[in-house]
Every structure is written in C-alpha cells, then in structure tokens.
Structure 1
Amino acid sequence: MNPPEQLPRRQMIKTTAAAVAGTALAAANSVATADGGTSKMLRIGVISATNRGKPQARNGHTWHFAQYFHPTIDLDAFCKFVDPGSAEFFRKYVRHPRCTFDQLPFPDTRITHYYDANPKDAADFAKAFPGVQVAPSVAELVDQVDAIWLGDASGYGDDHFDLVAPGLRKGLPTFCDKPIGETPAGTRKILEFARRCKTPIMSSSLFRHEWGTEAALRMRDSGEFGPIEYMVASLQSGYTDNGWMVYGQHPAWMVVTLMGAGVEAVSLYARGNAGHARVTFADRMPADIWYGRPNTPFIYNHTEVHFQKRKFEYSPAIEGDFWYGHHYEMFRMAATFREMVKTRREPIPHQEILDVTAMIHAGVKSRMEQSRLVRLAEVM
C-alpha cells in the first residue's frame, strides 16, 4: 500500500491543513492550547555525535530522526544534500502532507540550534531546515535551548558523555542515542550523572517504537493471551564483529522492551555473516537474537513473540509498506521524547538501558570464549 495514494480526499484536506497550521504556529515563541491559553515553544538543540572522532556527515539520526521537531523544511535543498533514496523517502512519506498521522508537525517544538564537529555539515543542516542556527560549541548550544537530542547513526558512543553532560548539568531533558556511552561503565556514568543532576534522560532503539512493538506491548499488558514465554528478535543485515557493537543493539533493545530488564547472561555464536545469541533470565524463559538471520525474502528486521495462547510476529512495515512503517517508528520515537520534555517523566527504565549495553559486551566476551554463557555481572 502506498499511503499518499490511498488516503481519502477528506483526510488529505485535513492533514494538509494541519501541516500549514503547524508551520505558522511554530514561527512564534508560544502556541495556543485547547483551553485558549498558551504553552511554551520548546527549543530543541540537536548534537551530531562523531564516529571515533570523525564527523558523521548527513548523520541519519539527526537529519532523519530529529527533524520531526522542526516544522519547516526546504525540501529541494534537503534532497540535494542527501542520497537519492533518502530524498525519495522524504518526498513520498516523511514530509508528505498526507502522511502526518494527524500529529505532524508538532505544534510546540522547533530545532533552534545544531552542533556538529564539522561546521560545514551543520551549515548544510541549517540550509535544509530554515530557522536553525549553527552552534559553534556545545557549551553555547545548551545556553539557548530547552532540551537536547544527541543523534548517533554509526558511532560507538565514546564521545557521548562529553556531549550530553553540559545539558544534563543544566537540567535539560536529553535524548542520548545508542550505543549510549559505548561500554557498561560509560552507560552507567551517563545515567548516574543524569540522576544526580535530576535531569530526565532517554535512550532507545528505533525498534522499540515500531507499530508492531506497540501492538505486542498492548497484548502483553492486557493479559488476554497470557505471558510472553519466548521471543525471537531478528536483524537481517549481515553480522560483523564491529556491526554487533552498534547495530546488534537493535534486537537487544527489542528483547528488553518486550521482556523487561533482568537479563542474566548471553551466549553469542557467529559463522560467516550470521550471528545468533541466546539471552537468558533467572526467572523467565530465554529469548533469541539473530543478527544476520538467514531468510528469504529479505526483511530488514523481524520479531516473533510467543505468548502462552498466541504467536504474534511483525516487521516495521504497516500493511506491507516498510517505508510508511519506518516513518511511523521515527515519528513515535520523537513523540516519546517530546512527551518526556513536557512532563519530565522518563519513559524508559535506566536498568533496561544498562542491560542492553551489557548484553552487547557479554556477547563479545562470549564469542571470544567459545560461545559460553557470559553473565552480565562479568562485564558490568
């Protein structure tokens, strides 16, 4: 299904009007509320992490994920800066006036400042998203915003603490991308610093916000189908040792999202471009992770949830359309962060965040030691 072609005329008019109205509202410093009052316009500062010190030009976790906070885009400029696939994705879905989920653009957010270690990359972002200013430094950025979004598409997290600490210290609600802090010690350092500063923090994988994941959580919480007895979280991209450190986080996140914190141990075996991990709990049945799952046809990621009375499986797609589903999961992650900024209530338990990092490092140790079960306590 191609949503831009399938939505009825009434919906098209409705969402187009919402897009125009949202753009106009965002030009002000405050927005009207339903009761006739006003609420503060939330100024979002976006920071692009590096990959081992190298700037990430066109960082997808800022150019794609964070852009939901900004109502305006120069789509022609954006499409000149990015690859053809991203340009088509934005034209057909992300910035299409009939693909707003009746929520976009957010009426009360805008990106006011953008920091990148390469000022030219930041300047390009500002050209693509009119109204954004280039921040010369993180220190200057945090003085002019209400919340921080740290995006990291392919880095390892070694620079995360230095990039988010100034904002956390000032009490600015912060999104810190995965792999947060690189190591279990680095993850703990960021989380404990946020706790000491009494600043809400969020870290997450996009997989947590899929349409299917939300449905699975509703099934779990309703109790209608009994408890989750087993699950398989799969990522079909080919396994590599370095890839496990960054992208293995996605299926690991899926496990803790659906089964909760409390992972006890991980065993990781890899052969060729396929990696398989067994995740155990002290009080629950295990879960399996495939990174490089052999599968035909290709599905970027796939999840099976085995409830006591039902098996539920899904991919990011909505009604068979991967790109519409991908747009949805990006939007939902941004919406979750926006809600945290407004309420200062953290949506994700710290222990789940820490468990994911520890699962990845336990997997590394396991692979080096004949795939034995490695307890998370060994790498904490």
Structure 2
Amino acid sequence: MPLRPPRLLAACLTLLALGGFAHADDAKPVRVGIIGLDTSHAPAFAKILNDPKAAKDVSGFRVVAAYPKGSPDIESSVSRVPKYTEILKEMGVAIVPSIPDLVDQVDVVLLETNDGRPHLEQALPVLKAGKPVFIDKPVAASLADTIAIFEAAKRFKTPVFSSSSLRYLQGADAVRTGKYGKVLGADTWSPQSMDPTHPDLLWYGIHGVEPLFTMMGTGCKTVRRFVNKDQDVVVGTWTDGRLGVFRGLKQGARGYGAVAFTEKKILPLSRFDGYRPLMVEIVKMWRSGEVPVPAEETIEIIAFCEAADISKEKKGAPVELAPLIKKARAEASSRLAALLDEKDGAKVAAGTAARN
C-alpha cells in the first residue's frame, strides 16, 4: 500500500484526534492557538473556550498559546496588543514568539489579526501543518489573497472558513433556509468605519454585508455604490433580478440590523447574541472537518466589497463581479506560487490554469 503524503497524513490524524478529544469526557482538551492579539475577539473567544463550565457545544477545547504581533502601521492595532496580551497571560495562555512555534503547540487555530493584509502569510504555516483554522473578518484585505487562502486550504486539504459574527444575527439563517418562503430581497446596515489600508467595506462594513449574503445566498451579478456624508448605500443585483442593499452608517443612528422581504412576511432582524453562536460553528468545524460557510460564498462577499470601491470611483456605475473574480484567481495563483515552495507552487498554478 502506498504511503500517504506526510502533510495529508498529518491533516487526517489531526481531524481524527479532534473527534476523539472533543467527545471524550475525561480526555485532555483540544489545544487552541490564537494568531493576533489586536482585537477584542481574541480574549472574548478565549473566555468562551476556557470556561470550566462551558456547555457541551463548545466544550473540550482550550486556548493554550497565542502569537500577539499586530500591525505597526495601524494605530488601533499597536495600542491594543499590550492590553490583550496581558489579558491572555492572566488566563494562563502562553505567549509565543512566532507562528511556527504556535503551530507546534496546538491542534487548531483562531486567526484573529485585525488587519487582513497579513492573513495569507499567517495562514499558510497553519494550513501546511494540517491544522483546521478559523479566520476572523476580513478573511483577507483583497479578493486575490482571499482566493489564495482557499486555494491553499484545498491544496493542503485543511478545513478553513471565515465569517463575521453578524452572520448569526438571530433569524437570518431561518430566512435563508426558507422558513418564510422565497427570499425576495433584503436590506442590512452596520457602522461604516474605514481604514485606508483596506477596501472601504472590508474594515467594518463587512459586518453588514455578511448577513446580507446569509439571507440572499450567492449569485450577486453587479454592484452599485452611492455615497453621501451620512451613509454609503451599496446595491447588489442578483442574477435572478433580486436586490440586496447594504447601508454603511457613518453618522447619526448606529447599530446593526436587517429587513428580509420574503413570500410570507417582511421580517425585521436586530437581535445579536454576541460571539457565542459563531464559536459554536467554529467548534463544529474543528470536530467534523466540515466548513459551515462555503469558500465560494466568502469569495463573493469579498468581491462585493471590492466592487463597491470600483463603483464609487465610477460615480455609482454598476460593476460586474464575474470579471473581478476571474482576474483575482489569476493573481491568487501567482501570489500563492511565490509564497509556497517550488513544488507546491507549480501544483497550485497548474490547478488554476486547468480551471480557467
């Protein structure tokens, strides 16, 4: 019998171990590592997982190590790292000097770096080691890097998904799965703070874009963006003619919410239950190896956000998503090939060429 490739074998053994650890009452907990301590999500997730009274849907996992480095050119990152590092230390979490050190000490990973730009390079050592990883929003700071991450996950057969916690706005999943009949359209809104290092919607507006796609599903064809001093209005037209609208609130009333227009009723959604619903889905992935959000949906969400910037430059003209995604796939192949060793890079490039 031929031997399995070492990386595939490592991934398989990791998933088998996770299943055993997560469901054994007297077993040692599955070791969780965190990359990036410049967001409140890091201590919040650690608190959920390290709670000795954690409910069964999140029990059996413990954050044991963290790599704290943030982004030196983003003030909010620089200022948060020391505080959150101390909080994690007080919880008994080991602070390690590098991502390889972290990967050696854990079974699964939370990639929490607030800045999406380094996510691809930070995720690669984790994916190559076969360690299942959740990547917090935004999955990356560009569509090309987003696709490259999912290509790497496929190459190394390692589960990965990304999501805003607002995907789990109470009632959004029921809308999508047809509880109220066909979804005819949806409006969502969230605060719209921005940072010049990222496409406008990727810094914070993604919190509103995520539930829009949760309810509408994939199939957005074009995007138009209209801007004024109080809010951005981004209108997506789906291939079947449905409209999905995101409002990024800059001034005045703040908060998160949505309205779903369905066959049976118009449904307002505004209850946000914090980070726990997202953590439940992360743990499910760690236990089963099955991702709750398909890669193609996350790719389309990032394409929607990039298209919004282009439409803004074009004074609200419609921008098609399909050409953006096609171009980004080619860029992703080159970017990933450059980061991987020659053998891995050649396989990624060949696979992308075959799909195109």
Q: Tell me if 1:42 matches 2:22.
A: no
- Residue pair 1:68, 1:105 contacting (<8 A) in 2 also: no
- Is the partner of 1:359 in helix, strand or coil? helix
Distance of aligned partners of 1:308 and 1:30 in 2 relative to their CA distance in 1, 3 Å threshold: closer
| Match of residue 361 from structure 1 | 306
The alpha-carbon deviation at position 261 of structure 1 amounts to: 1.5
Give the distance between the partners of 2:82 and 2:317, measured in 1 at CA.
47
Unaligned runs of 5+ in 2: 1-19, 71-80, 326-356
Q: Tell me if 1:373 matches 2:335.
A: no
The structure 2 residue matched to 1:117, chosen from 62, 65, 69, is 69
Which residue identity is paired with 1:61? H
The alpha-carbon deviation at position 64 of structure 1 amounts to: 2.3
- Residue pair 1:31, 1:38 contacting (<8 A) in 2 also: no
| Match of residue 245 from structure 2 | 288
The alpha-carbon deviation at position 39 of structure 1 amounts to: 4.7
| Match of residue 89 from structure 2 | 127
Give the distance between the partners of 1:125 and 1:105, measured in 2 at CA.
24
Give the distance between the partners of 1:238 and 1:141, measured in 2 at CA.
32
| Match of residue 136 from structure 2 | 177
Give the distance between the partners of 1:308 and 1:31, measured in 2 at CA.
41
- Residue pair 2:233, 2:246 contacting (<8 A) in 1 also: yes
Give the distance between the partners of 1:345 and 1:141, measured in 2 at CA.
23
Unaligned runs of 5+ in 1: 1-28, 50-55, 73-96, 317-324
The alpha-carbon deviation at position 262 of structure 1 amounts to: 1.9
Q: Tell me if 1:346 matches 2:291.
A: yes
The alpha-carbon deviation at position 168 of structure 1 amounts to: 0.6
Q: Tell me if 1:225 matches 2:180.
A: yes
Q: Tell me if 1:143 matches 2:87.
A: no
Q: Tell me if 1:273 matches 2:230.
A: yes
Using the aligned pairs only, state the percent identity.
24
Which residue identity is paired with 2:36? S
Distance of aligned partners of 1:337 and 1:374 in 2 relative to their CA distance in 1, 3 Å threshold: same
CA RMSD across the alignment = 2.6
The structure 2 residue matched to 1:61, chosen from 34, 41, 44, is 41
Which residue identity is paired with 1:108? G
TM-score with structure 2 setting the length: 0.75
| Match of residue 19 from structure 1 | none
Give the distance between the partners of 1:375 and 1:273, measured in 2 at CA.
26
| Match of residue 254 from structure 1 | 211
Distance of aligned partners of 1:121 and 1:142 in 2 relative to their CA distance in 1, 3 Å threshold: farther
The alpha-carbon deviation at position 258 of structure 1 amounts to: 1.1
Which residue identity is paired with 2:153? A
- Is the partner of 1:248 in helix, strand or coil? helix
The alpha-carbon deviation at position 105 of structure 1 amounts to: 8.9
TM-score with structure 1 setting the length: 0.71
Q: Deviations over 1:104-146 (max 9, x none)?
A: 79430110101112785564133331x2111111001001111
- Is the partner of 1:246 in helix, strand or coil? helix
- Is the partner of 2:275 in helix, strand or coil? helix
Count of aligned residue pairs for this structure pair: 294
- Is the partner of 1:179 in helix, strand or coil? coil
Give the distance between the partners of 1:60 and 1:134, measured in 2 at CA.
17
Q: Tell me if 1:301 matches 2:256.
A: yes
- Residue pair 1:71, 1:105 contacting (<8 A) in 2 also: no
Give the distance between the partners of 1:219 and 1:374, measured in 2 at CA.
27
| Match of residue 336 from structure 2 | none
The alpha-carbon deviation at position 195 of structure 1 amounts to: 0.7
- Residue pair 2:68, 2:85 contacting (<8 A) in 1 also: no
- Residue pair 1:69, 1:105 contacting (<8 A) in 2 also: no
